Amino acid sequence: MSAAGLHVVVPEGWVEVPGASPRELRAGSDDRAGILQISRLGDNMLDYIASHADLGALAGELGMRLGGAARTWGTASATKTGDCALGRFGLAVFPNGQFPSMILWITLAPDEAYMWTWLGPDPRGDEIGAALRVVMEARS
């Protein structure tokens, strides 16, 4: 399902890749500074996601599954759950994955859910804070 209808504020200096699927924001004119991808999850997943009190733990589980047998995401080192503009969020940080900086968020609104993935070159880069603001301030 498309995340095209989701309202996000693109940080200064970032670009949105037209027509990308999943929806893609780049922290610069190319992908060297990091990529934030946004996917709307199917309506059939809403009840499953909503049943989890700890969306951070769920994000950790989903990230491990994204890597498949190759385990390119590795294991989450930290998770967090809280409130965001859409409703609730969970995030998981993957420090030993395919990229130096890998974060997965799940956001849950009353009638839709999104998965956000950050892939970047620097686990301490300013782009991570900007990506976090995009996720936390997104509105449907």
Predicted confidence (pLDDT) per residue in 37-71, tens digit: 999 999 999 999 999 999 999 999 999 998 776 67
Percent of the chain with pLDDT over 90: 81
Does residue 9 belong to any structural domain of this protein?
no
Give me Rg for the CA atoms of the chain: 14
Give me the number of domains the chain comprises. 1
pLDDT of residue 73: 92
Q: Is residue 5 part of a domain?
A: no
Token pair recorded at residue 54: 């700890």
Answer whether residue 1 is part of any domain: no
CATH of the domain at 25: 3.40.1000
- Structure confidence by residue, pLDDT tens digits, 2-39: 787 899 999 999 999 999 999 999 999 887 899 999 99
* Strand-strand pairing, 78-83 and 23-26: unpaired
Residue 10 lies in a domain: no
Domain assignment of residue 81, yes or no: yes
Q: For residue 24, list its beta bridge partners.
A: 37
Residue 2 is assigned to a structural domain of this protein: no
pLDDT, residue 1, reads 60
